Amino acid sequence: MPCDRASEVLARLASVTDPELDEPVTELGFVTDVSVDANGHVRMGFRLPTYWCAANFSYLMADDMRTAVLELPWVTGLTLVLDEHMYADTINRAMTEGLSFQEAFGSEADGDLNALRRVFDLKAFQRRQLAVLEYLQAAAYDTNALLALSVSGLRALALEPEAANIIHRYLERRHVPGPAGDHEPAFVDEAGRAVTPDGYLAHRRALRRVMVNVEFNGALCRGLLAARYSEAATEMPVEPTLLDFVRGRVPERASRV
C-alpha cells in the first residue's frame, strides 16, 4: 500500500510546474524522494538549482507541491524538506505548519506572491500560445483563419493527439489575460486583446522573445542543478548556448513547450 500511495503522490507532483519554466518539477529533477508511512503521512524531499534561489519563488513552488499532495483524500499529514537552501528552515516550517509567505517570513517578506504568480502565468500563456501557432502554421493553417477562431473553434479543430494536447495545454492558460469563454477570441495578447492580422508579426516576435528568455533560463537551471549535485543534466543531451536560442538552434527537448 505505501508503494502505491507513493506513486499517487508522484503523480500529483507531476502536475506541479516550476512557476517560471512551466515544466513539471518531477521532470526537472527537483523531487528527490517520496515516502508514505502506514498512517498516511507523506514525507517529500526536494531541491533547487542554487542555494540562493529567491525566497518568494522557492516558497511558491513548495506551497504548490504541498497543495497538490494534500488534495489526496488519504493524506493525514505532510512533511516537506527543502535541501540545502538559505531559507530551508523557514520554508520547511511554513510547509509543516501551513503558514502563508507573510507569516513565515514576517518583515522579510518582499512582494506580492499573487502578482509574482501572475507574471509567471502570463509567461506560460505566451509560450503555450506560440507552440499552438507554430504547430498549426507548420501544418499549413492560414494565419488569418487562425486569428479568426474563437476558443470553441480552436478546441473543435480535428487534429492528431499531439496537436490536441498542445491546444489543450494552451487553453488551460487562456483565462490568464482575460475572459476565455467559448465565444471569446482564441488568440489574445497579454492584455486580453484579440490579436489582429496587422499586429500579428509584432505579436509573434514578442512571444518568441519570451520563449528565448525562458528556455535559456531552463537550460541554465538544468546545468546548475547538474553541476551542484554532480549529475548529468536532465534530458539535455546537447547543452545549448545563448546564441543557439537566439537563432532557434536548440535541441528538441529544450524547445518543447
Cα gap 75→115, rounded to integer Å: 30
Does the pLDDT at position 125 exceed 70? yes
pLDDT at residue 112, rounded to an integer: 79
- Give percent of the chain above pLDDT 90: 78
Query: What does pLDDT average to over the chain?
Result: 89
Does the pLDDT at position 240 exceed 60? no
pLDDT at residue 47, rounded to an integer: 96
pLDDT at residue 51, rounded to an integer: 93
pLDDT in tens, 126-148: 999 999 999 999 999 999 999 99
Cα gap 46→30, rounded to integer Å: 5
Domain boundaries, the chain: 2-108, 115-255
Does the pLDDT at position 7 exceed 90? yes
Mean pLDDT of 205-212: 96
Does residue 189 contact residue 177 with C-beta atoms inside 8 Å?
yes
Whole-structure pTM value: 0.84
Does the pLDDT at position 252 exceed 80? no
Does the pLDDT at position 257 exceed 70? no
24 sits in the region (left: phi over 0; alpha: psi -120 to 50; else beta) called: beta
CATH superfamily for 2-108 is Fe-S cluster assembly (FSCA) (3.30.300.130)
Range of 96-105, 198-207, 217-226 with top mean pLDDT: 198-207
Reported confidence tier of residue 232, pLDDT bands at 50, 70, 90 = low
The label of the residue with cell 499552438 reads: 132
Does residue 204 contact residue 133 with C-beta atoms inside 8 Å?
yes
